């Protein structure tokens, strides 16, 4: 191998998706994206950064060989970016990562306020990179998966109706005050693939679960679940999760569900494990503030 490293905007996105899919597994896992090449490519082309892809993605080459990729999934309004990578296959990982980061930061036409990273606990290279750019390790998260199974207990759980909207708003916004989706955003998304299910006693809301089916890529997500304090310990959380699973697995394309839970929330993890989820990744979250 030579020593000349070139950083440039890639022109072969299927190759980029293939590279990410191969690197993003095991201890090198980056939590913001998966390891399915087709899904990665679709996300890059149709559902990535608010900025054009040529301003949000760079690649590193040693000669003609692709050795690194770094993407920034940028939210233009908040000026916050989630890092896809750095994905590097090279003995000088730190050098490649730094070159890509500096290049992409120079080409972005807006001033970012935060950079976020989400990495497997054993992905030491990426964690060292985040610390080098001044990011702080914040908390840990557990990734769990569940496969399709037979009949499960979901008695008494129904789709949300307008009479419960206000109680849902209070429970969601109170339980997740800094969530990536507000109660209004969730309610506005309800359709054949996005559902809110609730547990209730007469006219009182006891808990809810918000889930999303993505049959195009054989997956689904349980985004949020909450039970009112007075209703905890009654098995309601388990029934809510089961209802979400019944809905998600009703799509024949979906065979597996993956979700992310803060590792400190052992009660929620216990509920998920009781209904059949197993742990697959332990991730760490990094936050770097820029422009200060």
Query: CATH no. for residue 204?
Result: 3.40.630.30
- Let me know whether 68 and 187 are in one domain: no
Q: Is 200 found in the same domain as 77?
A: no
* pLDDT at residue 1 in the model: 47
Residues in contact with 39: Cβ distance below 8 Å, sequence separation at least 6, in sequence order: 217, 219
Indicate whether 160 and 127 sit together in one domain. no
Judge if 41 and 129 occupy the same domain. yes
Name the residue with higher pLDDT: 87 or 262: 87
**What's the CA gap between 82 and 147, in Å, rounded?**
28
Burial of 26 (0-12, 13-18, 19+ CB in 10 A): exposed
- Give the pair of three-digit tokens for residue 16: 């980029």
Q: What is the pLDDT of residues 31-68, one digit of tens each?
A: 999 889 999 999 999 989 999 999 999 999 999 999 99
Question: Is residue 206 within 8 Å of residue 228, measured between CB atoms?
Answer: yes
Q: Is residue 263 part of a domain?
A: no
Number of domains, the chain:
2
Question: Which residues, in sequence order, are CB contacts of 102 under 8 Å at separation 6+?
Answer: none
Q: Does residue 259 lie within any of the structural domains?
A: no
- Cα–Cα dist 250/262, whole Å: 27
Are 133 and 16 contained in the same domain? yes
**2 pLDDT more than 60:** no
Instruction: Answer whether residue 264 is part of any domain.
Output: no
Q: Binning pLDDT at 50, 70 and 90, where does residue 153 land? A: low
In this prediction the pTM is 0.76
Mean pLDDT of the chain: 92
- The predicted pLDDT at position 18 comes to 97
Give 119's pLDDT tier (boundaries 50, 70, 90). very high
| Over residues 67-86, mean pLDDT | 95
* 116 in Cβ contact with 81 (< 8 Å): yes
Same domain as 87, residue 190? no
Say if residue 134 is in the same domain as residue 167: no
Average confidence (pLDDT) over 101-109? 96
Q: Which of 135, 137, 134, 81 lies closest to 105 in space, CA to CA? A: 81
How many Å apart are CA 167 and CA 208, to the nearest integer?
A: 10
Does 10 have pLDDT greater than 60?
yes
**Boundaries of domain holding 192:** 149-254
Helix (H, G, I), strand (E, B) or coil at 127: helix
DSSP states of the chain as a string?
--S-EEEE--S-HHHHHHHHHHHSSGGG-BTTS-S-HHHHHHHHHHSS-SS-GGGTEEEEEETTEEEEEEEEEEETTTTEEEEEEEEE-SS-HHHHHHHHHHHHHHH-SS--SEEEEEEETT-HHHHHHHHHTT-EEEEEEEEEEEE--S----TTEEE--GGGHHHHHHHHHHH-TT-SS-HHHHHHH-SSSEEEEEEEETTEEEEEEEEEEEGGGTEEEEEEEEE-GGGTTSSHHHHHHHHHHHHHTTSTT--EEEEEEETT-HHHHHHHHHTT-EEEEEEEEEEEE---
Residue 106 has pLDDT above 90, yes or no: yes
**Does residue 197 sit in the same domain as residue 118?**
no
Residue 113 is assigned to a structural domain of this protein: yes
Q: Are residues 123 and 73 in the same domain?
A: yes
In a domain, 267, yes or no: no
Using CA atoms, how far residue 145 sits from 98, 148, 194, 281, in Å, is 33, 10, 19, 10
Are 154 and 106 in the same domain? no
Tokens standing for residue 232: 């905890």
Beta-bridge partner residues of 58: 70
Q: To the nearest whole percent, how much of the chain has pLDDT over 90?
A: 75
- What pairs with residue 71 in β-bridges? 57, 84
pLDDT at 271: 86
């Amino acid at each position: 191998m030579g020593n000349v490293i070139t950083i440039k905007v890639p022109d072969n996105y299927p190759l980029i998706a293939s590279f990410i899919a191969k690197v993003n597994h095991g201890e090198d896992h980056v939590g913001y994206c998966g390891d399915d090449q087709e899904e990665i490519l679709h996300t890059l082309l149709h559902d990535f950064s608010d900025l054009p892809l040529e301003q949000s993605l760079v690649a590193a080459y040693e000669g003609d060989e692709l050795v690194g990729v770094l993407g920034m999934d940028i939210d233009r309004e908040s000026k916050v970016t989630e890092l896809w990578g750095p994905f590097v296959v090279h003995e000088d990982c730190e050098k490649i990562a730094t070159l890509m980061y500096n290049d992409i930061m120079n080409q972005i036409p807006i001033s970012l306020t935060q950079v976020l990273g989400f990495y497997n606990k054993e992905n030491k290279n990426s964690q060292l990179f985040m610390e080098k750019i001044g990011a702080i390790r914040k908390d840990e998260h557990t990734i769990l998966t569940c496969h399709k199974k037979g009949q499960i207990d979901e008695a008494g759980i129904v789709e949300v109706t307008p009479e419960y909207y206000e109680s849902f708003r209070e429970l969601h916004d109170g339980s997740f005050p800094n969530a990536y989706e507000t109660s209004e955003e969730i309610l506005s998304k309800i359709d054949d693939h996005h559902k809110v299910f609730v547990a209730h006693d007469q006219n009182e809301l006891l808990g809810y679960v918000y889930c999303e089916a993505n049959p195009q890529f054989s997956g689904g997500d349980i985004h949020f679940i909450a039970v009112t304090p007075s209703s905890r310990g009654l098995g309601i959380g388990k029934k809510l999760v089961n209802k979400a699973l019944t809905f998600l697995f009703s799509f024949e394309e979906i065979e597996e569900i993956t979700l992310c839970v803060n590792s400190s929330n052992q009660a929620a993890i216990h509920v998920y494990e009781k209904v059949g989820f197993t742990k697959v990744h332990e991730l760490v979250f990094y936050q770097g503030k820029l422009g200060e």
